[in-house]
Amino acid sequence: MANIKQQKKRVITNQKRNLLNASFKSSLKTAIKNFEAAVATGNKEQAFEAFKFACKKIDKAVSKGILHKNNAAHQKSRLSQLLNTLA
């Protein structure tokens, strides 16, 4: 543990941010899995709604700095290709 007061505060805030980021990443993965499950069942309407929700989550992750923008573009492209297989 650090001896400097400001560094002690940074350690605490970093732990808080780490928990929040982990929670958000988990919800992002869940949204993607829900979309993939909807595609697997072949339900177009449910898959489209899940796709919109997953894309929203991905964009939010980029704005929060959790995902890199290129990684997000890759994920959204992959999901849209899956969605196009239903059409």
CATH value at residue 68 = 1.20.58.110
- Count the domains in the chain: 1
**pTM of the predicted structure, to 2 decimals:** 0.87
Residue 87 has pLDDT above 80, yes or no: no
**Cβ atoms of 61 and 24 closer than 8 Å:** yes
Give the count of beta carbons closer than 10 Å to the beta carbon of residue 37: 13
pLDDT band at 84 (very low <50, low <70, confident <90, very high): very high
Per-residue pLDDT band for 10 (boundaries 50, 70, 90) equals very high
> Which residues span the domain enclosing 22?
5-86
Q: For the chain, how are helix, strand and coil distributed in percent, rounded to 5?
A: 85, 0, 15
